[in-house]
Structure 1
Amino acid sequence: LTYGKIKEKDKPFYIRLHSSCVTSETLRGSDCDCVQQLEGAIKIISEKKHGILFYLLQEGRGAGYVGKARDRMLVQASCDQISTFEAYYLMGLKKDHRHYENIPQICDLLGIGNAQFILLTNNPDKIKAMDDLKLQVIQIEQLEFESSPFNSAYLASKQSSGHLLRSASHSTLRGKSAPEPVPLFKPCIVPNAQRFIYCASYYLPMKPINDEILLTDQQFYEMFKYRSIDYYINMPNSCVLSYQVLRNNRFLIKVDVDNLRKHEEQCRNDPVCELLTTPYWFKIHVYYDIISTREFIVLTHGTVGMSHYPIVRLQMESLFNRFPLRHATMRDRFKQSVQHIIRYGVGMILLLADDGRGAGFGAYALDRMLLERGEVSNSDAARKKICVDHDANDYDGSIALLKNHCPQGKIQLIMNKPSSILKKKECIDALAQHRFEIKKWLFLQQEEF
């Protein structure tokens, strides 16, 4: 991503070498600082009006998402007694598998190979890599943000490994662990879908949506044991705006974050301040497909039982929606789906991580270019021109994985709108083939026929 007049080489470029992180940038995870660094770098570059973000598809420090997921599983199983770097060592990996040889090549293509750069990073390895590649880095600017109870141990381990972080070792935050013990297991074949290897499972602390915090009945009564929730609602500067009781004795509490932070400054030990750091807990399950060599991600929330039908969403991703755009359709749909699942109490999201409706980011980019040039009138025409199906997602494989988490086969299915049922024929056919019974349709937006 470039900002400003790239051909103007008389002043240095602010640049960020950023590695992708699907958990924080797509799934709203708060157990790292990746999305903060991404958005922070974009903010600095836009303010300076002259810079480049190199977005590198090097998940898990270049080891891939399977490696990263097993790292997270090992760390959580140890209750943060081992670090992310120690987990990589236990798996026989280097602490960092990333490479940056294509950066000078891209700079040459942009005509700025001999320009000067201000590098936005905390990572000494990136500084060394730029030096080794003979790129002129004249200054380093750090990207450091407030830690949370879920990434404090992670940031401390980064600091111990040499990252230029000032606050990690001085944090007074108490780390928070997963809601249940995380068992370790060896990768194994999925019995009813043997093209898939079940590689890892761990808990993801997800940032709440619209400042609505979810509590169990035990958490609720413990938090408001000494002062009722009405006390915080009726304060002059209300910390709590409202609350509602959900299925299975759960509570959804709407908070005013600014007022709650001010209250925390005055009454740090008040249990209600815990609402600031209470996430939605989803469990991530990671699979490797030995046929397509792709990774599949399933998020689950709650326990599937015979007395209720889990809410299911097949969530497509757009790479651009990882950036802080004004309009991020896929991200908004993901948030709506999470809200449905949180309110109901049981559900799962299967991430279709290939951009361009399964055809990849290249297909999406060509589609977009043809539309913006005016060579075609719509996306369907663009896809015909580039010889790509309207929807290239692997629904058969995806639904087979879904069956692994919902063996009774009775679900509530989230779709974008009623007409999506007709447009997503391949998806509906795959559900029928795997004997799923859709007990209820849930639509993220309504429309008139």
Structure 2
Amino acid sequence: MNIKTSNIANLPSKHGKFRIKAYKQENQEHLVIMSEDFEQIESPYVRIHSECLTGDTLGSLKCDCQNQLELALKFIGEKGGLIIYHRQEGRNIGLLNKVNAYALQDKGRDTVQANLELGFKEDERDYSVVDFIFKDLNIKSIKLITNNPKKIEYVESLGVKISQRIPAITESNIYNENYLNTKKEYFGHFL
């Protein structure tokens, strides 16, 4: 696996003072946002956050992504740890296809049906960069901030101990109820 890494840089934010490091895997660039004391924490809090431009940046109400990212940034800022900002938009179907999936959702499809109708699997994400990041940062035990059982399974398959799971539950709204129900019913998310 050919992954390039950046130097570590400081990133002061409204959530606290962080350090960041970028990882380039083929045509995708991922970001790790670390608390300043992350290296001194034996089992840091970790969020593997999948990119969502429409939610994270534009505040879309169709999902809970921005709320989960804000929750994780605040949590990491206060308690220490890191966020892996996993740049695989729309469960790794890309922004153009994600917008096409949104159009199908506007016609009544759920997120899984829309992806399948567009010719994709329900989830195209590849987490191999996470393994590289854990090894690069010498992470062997974490407290994982997630609702996603597949992320738990993946992290455990790497031999990284999950000493605790912290739910990333945020409030639902009329626009994301179907999305959250699909995550719960189809993907088994702990919601």
User: Shorter-chain TM-score category?
Assistant: 0.7 to 0.9
The one-character-per-residue Cα deviations of 1:292-331 (angstroms, maximum 9, x if unpaired) are xxxxxxxxxxxxxxxxxxxxxxxxxxxxxxxxxxxxxxxx
| Secondary structure at 1:138 match in 2 | strand
The answer as to whether partners of 2:55 and 2:63 remain within 8 angstroms in 1 is yes
One of 56, 60, 64 as aligned partner of 1:29: 60
Is 1:90 the equivalent of 2:137?
Answer: no
Checking the alignment, whether the CA contact within 8 Å between 1:122 and 1:164 is kept in structure 2 is yes
**Superposition misfits of 4+ residues, deviation over 3 angstroms:** none
How big is the shift at 1:130? 0.7
Q: Aligned AA for 1:63?
A: I
Q: CA deviation at 1:154?
A: 0.9
Matched-pair contact (CA < 8 Å) for 1:119–1:140: yes
Instruction: Verify the 8 A CA contact 1:89 1:95 in the aligned structure 2.
Output: yes
Instruction: Tell me, yes or no, if structure 1 residue 3 matches structure 2 residue 3.
Output: no
In the alignment, residue 107 of structure 2 is paired with which amino acid? A
**Residue aligning to 1:231:** none
What's the CA shift for 1:135?
1.5
State which of 54, 57, 70 in structure 1 corresponds to 2:100: 70
Paired amino acid for 1:57: R
Distance 1:101 1:75 in 2: 29
Match of 1:7, SS state, is helix
User: Which residue does 2:72 correspond to in 1?
Assistant: 41
Q: Is the 8 A contact 2:146 2:165 kept in 1?
A: yes
Q: How far apart, in 2, do the equivalents of 1:18 and 1:134 lie?
A: 20
Alignment partner of 2:91: what SS? coil
Q: Do the aligned residues in 2 keep the contact of 1:59 with 1:65 (CA within 8 Å)? A: yes
Q: Who is 1:16 aligned against?
A: 47
Q: Does 1:163 align with 2:189?
A: yes
Supply the distance in 2 between the matched residues of 1:46 and 1:16 (Cα, whole angstroms): 12
Map 1:217-228; keep pairs closer than 5 Å.
none
Taking the aligned partners of 1:153 and 1:113, their CA distance within structure 2 comes to 36
Higher relative contact order (CA 8 A, sep 6+): 2
Match of residue 121 from structure 1: 146
Q: Match for residue 105 of structure 1? A: 132
Contact 2:57–2:66 (Cα < 8 Å) also in 1? no
- Code of the residue aligned with 1:119 in structure 2: it is L
* Counterpart Cα distance in 2 of 1:29 and 1:54: 21
C-alpha separation between the residues in 2 aligned to 1:95 and 1:89? 6
Which of 129, 133, 142 lines up with 2:167 in the alignment? 142
- Distance in 1 between residues matched to 2:57 and 2:124, nearest whole Å: 22
Q: Distance in 1 between matches of 2:162 and 2:126?
A: 17
Q: Give distance in 1, aligned partners of 2:37 and 2:163.
A: 20
Q: Give 1:43-442 correspondences, 5 Å limit.
A: 43-48=74-79, 50-78=80-108, 82-110=109-137, 112-114=138-140, 116-161=141-186, 162-165=188-191
**By how many angstroms is 1:68 displaced?**
1.2
Unaligned runs of 5+ in 1: 166-449
> What is the distance in 2 between the residues matched to 1:132 and 1:69?
32
Partner Cα distance (1:153, 1:7) in 2: 39
Equivalences, count: 158
Q: Conserved in 2, the CA contact under 8 Å of 1:104 and 1:135?
A: no
Contact 1:104–1:113 (CA<8 Å) still a contact in 2?
no
Separation of aligned partners in 2, 1:15 and 1:75: 31
